[in-house]
Amino acid sequence: MDLNLTPDERQFRDEFRSWLTVNVPLPWSGESKDEHIAYLKRWQRTLFEGGWAGISWPKQYGGRGATLMQQAIFQEELALANAPHLIGTIGLSLVGPTLIAMGSESQKAQHLAKILSGEEIWCQGFSEPNAGSDLASLGTKAIREGDEFVVNGQKIWTSFAQIADYCLLLVRTDFESPKHKGITCLLLDMRLPGISVRPLRMMSGDSGFNEVFFSDVRVPVSHVLGRVNEGWSTAITALMNERANLGTGIQVLFPATSRPSSPARIP
C-alpha cells in the first residue's frame, strides 16, 4: 500500500499551507469572552473568504467537494499552524451537511452561506435529562397550533447554546406512535421568546455545556427540517455527519499540548 500523497493531494496541502502562513491570526491573548468570540468569528470569516470553510461541502453550496484524504490534510495543516478552532464547527460539520441532504431550497438559501461565514452559530438540541443514549425517548413536546409548533421541554449538555443563533432541535410531535415514529426536527431561532439557557459548570470550572429550557416557544411549521413525525431519519443523518466530521475535526484541531478539557469550551 502506497501511503504517500498523490500529486493532487500535495498540491492541495501546499496551497492550504501557504494560505495559512499568511492568514492565521496571532494567538488570542485577551480576557474578554465577548472579544474572544468575535476573534473566533473573524477567523471563520477569513477562512470563508479564502474559500476554506466547509471544504467537504459540495461546490454548489460553497464548499470544495474535498475528498476524505483532503479533509484529513486540512485538519492536520490547521493543527500544525496552531490555527484557532472553528467556533462554527457544529454548523459546518453537522447542521450544514444535514441541511444539504434534507433541507428545502429556501432553508438552504437562508442558512448555508451564513453557516460557512460564521454569521450563524448553531447548537444541537438532542440530549435530555432522561434521553441521552436512548435518544428516541426524548420528551420535549411540540404541539401544532395552526402554522406554528408550541415547544415546551428541556435539553441538556448543549454545547455552544450560550452563544448560538440557531438550534437543530428534536421534539416529540406524535404522542401515540412508537417512540421512533413521532419525532420532528426543527430549525429553531434561539432568540425566540420563551428560551432560556443555563450554563453547566464543570469541576474544572469550564461551562461550555448548557441546559436549555423551552416555555411556549412558537416555531413556524416552515422551520421543520425533513418531514413532520419523521425526524428520526433526520436525526440519523445528523448523527452520521457528527461521527464523520465533527469528532475527527475536534480531535485534530487541538494538539495534545494545547487541547482544552472540553471540545465545547469557550475560554
H helix or E strand, kind and range, residue 73: helix 68-80
Active site residue 105: no
Helix, strand or coil, per DSSP, at residue 175: coil
Choice among 77, 120, 128, 242 that is catalytic:
242
Q: How far apart are CA 41 and CA 174, in angstroms?
A: 38
Distances 64 to 91, 152, 163, 190, 241 between C-alpha atoms, Å: 16, 39, 28, 30, 17
CB 166 within 8 A of CB 190: yes
Helix (H) or strand (E) holding 12: helix 7-23
Q: What residue type is assigned to position 111 of the chain?
A: H
State the chain's maximal CA–CA distance in angstroms. Answer: 60
Residue 9 is which amino acid?
Answer: E
Q: What is the DSSP string of 183-243?
A: EEEEEEETTSTTEEEEEE--TTS---EEEEEEEEEEEEGGGBSS-TTBHHHHHHHHHHHII
Residue partners of 64: CB distance under 8 A and separation at least 6: 51, 52, 55, 56, 57, 70
Q: Which residues are identified as catalytic?
A: 242
